[in-house]
């Protein structure tokens, strides 16, 4: 074998090995993001736990498409930090409404007002805050394990990760990236 | 010996009976002091989609009612008949917008100027009569209540943390800090020391009303405590739950009050204070208004047949007050029948 050919083969092997190594490193990086910042020590629900809620309308929801449930107990917004945190997050979601309209769903807890009054209130509130995603009224927040306040419920396959409001900013961006398919989450 | 025991037993029995009757009759002083009221006008009484979350209100010199709506992030102005005139502001970062929900408003008639604070913000925004942004004043800490005095000075109160900053700040017409002071006799528990503010133009006094303590304090404009009083039929302190500090960091919060002693305070230009009751009132939470002198003498009691979180006695409208109702989605104007 000529000397030149040997050098070429060695160069190709080095390039391939470098690519494999870079690919390994980047995968490791994603896995780190998911494990440390996103899933690490988060409370989770089984996807079927959502059925423990009483849905007050008979609209059909295609739950297979939903990636994010936003669970709202309006009285939690007496906490300004939680409210502004939620509104900022909601603004980020609104920008993607046209593509992800079926992936995000609001679950709003019934309060002790007349249903008509609460519906009117929520419709007005959504309009004022430019929230376009669909909502449904539910009862029985307390029946959901590990949920005791307004939260983002991020669905990944058959489990749901619970993020109670307010959410730290680094988690915000990770949730958004996940919902909008920018990163892959490897729960294993 | 037997006679002695008999006399002692009788004495103990009588003294127990007296104590018991004192407790039962705690509210008796209220019964002959009731002040009747009549509703004259109501904004959004039928849920007419005008108001969604009243967090504070005032009146302007022409009698218009100006309301902070913290759900809508705006200020709504109504005429004296309750008709919506205009809506100002929305959520945003511009000068005429609100980053956080607007929660309190004060009006200065001399300068036709409004001061608005946002929930948990240390920024006070000033607007002219047409609600154009004029300027902003920065307080050292988040402001929980604001009021103007007769000289157009702006007085603010913050949640007390005297080791870090002064609780009461007085800003002059230009927005410069003129003076500041800490209230006297604080408990050192931040939540229990939370108070609202009122300026009594008749007596030229600053009035502090504690939300979770049965305490009203009267200060002069130099921050000197003139007098303080409690209402004898209410407990001195609200019930609380222990605060579990899991952060490991030092905190001035020890207990979390779970009930209110008072909710709001206002005063008229004759020197009377109007104090809105909390959970311990005979007539129910948010349903009693105690009319007192600045010395603490109970003059009248107003029983409301609805729950109210905010009351306001407008200047130059003697015998009237405003109160929120329907879970802070309506404001009514009431005439007091003295």
A77-87 pLDDT tens trace: 888 888 988 99
DSSP string, B70-137: TTTTEEEEE-TTS-EEEEE--BSSSTTSBSS-EEEEEEETTTTEEEEEETT-SEEEEEETT--EEEEE
Residue for token digits 């002083």?
B29
Which one, of B125, B112, B109, B110, lies nearest residue B68 by Cα? B125
Q: What is the pLDDT of residue B39?
A: 96
Which chain B residues contact residue A121 at CB under 8 A?
Answer: 52, 71
Whether pLDDT at A185 is above 50: no
CATH of the domain at B296: 2.120.10.30
* C-alpha–C-alpha distance, residues B147 and B155, integer Å: 5
* C-alpha–C-alpha distance, residues A154 and B20, integer Å: 58
| Per-residue tokens: A50 | 């959502």
Mention every residue, 6+ apart, whose C-beta is less than 8 A from residue B2: none
How close does chain B come to A80, measured CA to CA in Å? Answer: 7
Is B56 inside any structural domain? yes
Mention every residue, 6+ apart, whose C-beta is less than 8 A from residue A104: A66, A67, A68, A70, A93, A133, A179
Q: What is the pLDDT of residue A38?
A: 46
Q: What is the pLDDT of residue B267?
A: 96
Which one, of A181, A160, A177, lies nearest residue A46 by Cα? A160
Q: What is the pLDDT of residue A150?
A: 92
Is B258 inside any structural domain? yes
Closest-CA residue of A relative to B73 is A128
The pairing of strands A135-139 and A104-109 is parallel
Residue spans per domain, chain A: 1-41, 43-179
- For A124-169, list the strands marked E by DSSP: 135-139, 151-156, 159-164
Reported confidence tier of residue A138, pLDDT bands at 50, 70, 90: confident
Reported confidence tier of residue A171, pLDDT bands at 50, 70, 90: confident
CB contact under 8 A, A87 and B71: no
Which site among A72, A76, A80 would you substitute to test the B interface, given the most B Cβ atoms closer than 10 Å to its Cβ?
A: A80
Range of the domain at B94: 33-337
- For chain A, list the strands marked E by DSSP: 44-46, 54-55, 68-72, 104-109, 135-139, 151-156, 159-164
Q: What is the pLDDT of residue B338?
A: 80
Q: Give chain B's residues under pLDDT 50.
A: 15-25
* C-alpha–C-alpha distance, residues A79 and A167, integer Å: 13
CB contact under 8 A, B120 and A120: no
Q: What is the pLDDT of residue A42?
A: 57
Taking any CB pair shorter than 8 Å as contact, residues of chain A touching chain B are: 80-81, 83-84, 87, 113, 117, 120-121, 124-125, 128-129
Mention every residue, 6+ apart, whose C-beta is less than 8 A from residue B284: B307
**Alpha-carbon dihedral sign for residues B292, B298, B299, B303:** positive
Q: How many domains does chain B have?
A: 1
CB contact under 8 A, B120 and A87: no
- At residue A6, the 3 state secondary structure works out as helix
Q: What is the pLDDT of residue A99?
A: 79
CB contact under 8 A, A120 and B47: yes
Q: Which CATH number fits domain A43-179: 1.10.1760, 3.40.30, 3.30.200, 1.10.287?
A: 3.40.30
pTM over 0.90: no
């Amino acid at each position: 074998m000529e000397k030149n050919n040997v050098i070429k083969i060695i160069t190709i092997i080095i390039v391939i090995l470098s690519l494999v190594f870079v690919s390994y490193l980047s995968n490791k990086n994603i896995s780190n993001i998911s494990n440390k910042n996103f899933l690490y020590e988060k409370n989770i629900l089984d996807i079927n736990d959502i059925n423990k809620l009483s849905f007050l309308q008979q609209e059909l929801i295609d739950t297979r498409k939903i990636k994010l449930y936003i669970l709202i107990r309006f009285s939690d917004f007496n906490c300004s930090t939680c409210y502004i945190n939620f509104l900022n997050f909601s603004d980020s979601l609104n920008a993607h409404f046209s593509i992800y309209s079926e992936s995000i769903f609001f679950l709003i807890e019934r309060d002790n007002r007349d249903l008509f009054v609460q519906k009117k209130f929520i419709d007005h509130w959504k309009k004022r805050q430019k929230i376009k995603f669909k909502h449904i009224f539910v009862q029985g927040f307390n029946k959901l394990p590990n949920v005791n306040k307004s939260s983002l419920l991020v669905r990944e396959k058959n489990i749901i990760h619970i993020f109670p409001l307010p959410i730290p900013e680094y988690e915000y961006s990770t949730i958004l990236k996940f919902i909008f398919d920018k990163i892959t989450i490897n729960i294993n | 010996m037997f006679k002695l025991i008999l006399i002692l037993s009788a004495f103990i029995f009588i003294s127990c009976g007296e104590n018991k009757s004192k407790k039962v009759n705690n509210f008796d002083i209220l019964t002959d002091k009731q002040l009747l009221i009549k509703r004259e006008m109501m904004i959004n009484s039928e849920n007419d989609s005008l108001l969604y979350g009243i967090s504070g209100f005032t009146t302007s010199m022409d009698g218009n009612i100006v309301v902070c709506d913290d759900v809508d992030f705006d200020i709504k102005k109504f005429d004296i008949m309750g008709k919506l005139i205009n809506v100002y502001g929305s959520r945003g970062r511009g000068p005429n917008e609100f980053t956080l929900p607007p929660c309190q408003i004060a009006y200065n008639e001399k300068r036709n100027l409004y001061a608005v604070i946002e929930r948990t913000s240390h920024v006070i925004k000033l607007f002219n009569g047409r609600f154009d942004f004029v300027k902003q004043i920065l307080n050292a800490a988040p402001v929980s209540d604001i009021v103007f005095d007769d000289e157009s000075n702006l007085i603010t109160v913050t949640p007390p943390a005297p080791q870090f900053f002064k609780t009461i700040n007085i800003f002059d017409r230009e927005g410069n800090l003129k003076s500041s002071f800490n209230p006297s006799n604080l408990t050192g528990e931040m939540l229990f020391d939370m108070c609202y503010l009122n300026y009594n133009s008749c007596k030229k006094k600053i009035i502090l009303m504690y939300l979770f303590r049965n305490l009203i304090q009267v200060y002069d404009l130099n921050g000197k405590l003139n007098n303080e009083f409690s209402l004898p039929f209410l407990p001195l302190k609200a019930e609380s739950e222990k605060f579990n500090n899991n952060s490991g960091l030092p905190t001035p919060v020890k207990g979390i009050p779970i009930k209110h002693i008072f909710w709001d305070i206002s005063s008229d230009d004759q020197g009377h204070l109007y104090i809105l009751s909390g959970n311990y009132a005979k007539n129910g939470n948010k349903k009693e208004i105690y009319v007192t002198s600045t010395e603490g003498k109970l003059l009248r009691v107003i029983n409301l047949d609805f729950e109210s979180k905010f009351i306001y006695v407008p200047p130059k409208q003697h015998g009237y007050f405003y109160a929120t109702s329907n879970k802070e989605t309506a404001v009514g104007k009431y005439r007091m029948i003295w």
